[in-house]
Chains A and B, each alone.
Chain A
């Protein structure tokens, strides 16, 4: 079992969600976040004062998957989230020791 974490641009969320459904992913958790990598921030002005804001709004998506489809999941996200401009984001995969569905008590691959 794997945890796929992706940081994408907020307006790409719906496209990524649809692409994930197409490869068979049935659930995900989404968090609003802020961050930067190579993308530079921007300047904001309030009452004459300039502020250099480094953090850019992003969306973090977490998906639990079986090992078998991990590559397809990563590929689907990458394709849907890509714009070609700096700040498109990153995807990483981490191993998961155990998963449990709270309602039924199922664990392991059945819980995904």
Chain B
């Protein structure tokens, strides 16, 4: 997957445009032209004009500038870049699912409603919780739903005004504090201790009757399972707060834990991580939210329910926090997740969860001599390493190692996250990769460690083999050019 940097990048569609071209042939009008509103019409539409072949070629060539899972191993920690099964693409396009209007009559949409109801039930089982809403369109929206549910719950008990704080670990993904702020809360940070767990002693000083929730990621963003989870749950529940689980790392738990059993009250899933739906370059995702039965009344939007006569309908829970989007969520993504879960079954999900954890630990074992490992314990589905050794000894940083990986045809791991670890590299192989693929990746990582030592310049000047080299990102922000303007 290397392209010479001397390849010419495709021009913009505006630059390739020539008057009189069109990419699709349109029907001749079969009704008379209506008149009377001409004064309200726009003068011109500043759009390009291209033939169909030009469009096909333009976007095909652009695709070839991208790395994707189909061509490349994406060792991105926290993203779960597993294989996106193609049968899911096929079934999601069945007209009965894809060409269905959201306001179709209930008798015409029973299949879709049944799929939603079954997916709700499957996710509730996986979560070990009582009820699910599929409405949130992404993990961040799932988090917002969850925190709004906590808010509604406390308000229902007359404690809404008093509980103004949400506690969040310093290792948390940025969406967590951003979500808490959007939901009207102030954020209190709890430290991570030297073993990578939440500092339970500090947490004990932070809980109180003014806390609405603790947002926890499990395993945490260091890839580690909170050893003292029982104490954490007790502290949170003990002060009357709710425990929210950020389910981004759920792939690690599929083979070992059902969050509801731990004492989680509310959580979200990322269907586009754990359940194989494609990342698409940045979405669409889906962030289903699951809650205990006690919180089911507060779920957002409409949930699919099966009525006594066996038919399905959409109903808004009696004390719903309200809808987060106009319709029911990313149904097309739900279809793909449903197909995936049905393909694997409970047995397959159990196995893939275990394989994900074994793969990450194997990778860690192979790389732990060449790279610094901040926490000397088994990880879950992702391995946290750092580039500290390389920076200290050779002035080669994690950023440079990431860019050099691109030269070898790999996407970079998650870098500089979590924020609390210097020169962090978070690597998540997922269960999709074979042992050979992981070995090949580790071999390249070891090669780069050697390059850092023997020939650092080649790492510092990476990437050389990608379509473009390092970009002037500071310049882009200083003088933003955010659309094409005709000269």
Partners in one complex: no
Which residues of A are in contact with B by a Cβ distance under 8 Å?
none
Q: Which residues from chain B sit less than 8 Å from chain A, CB to CB?
A: none
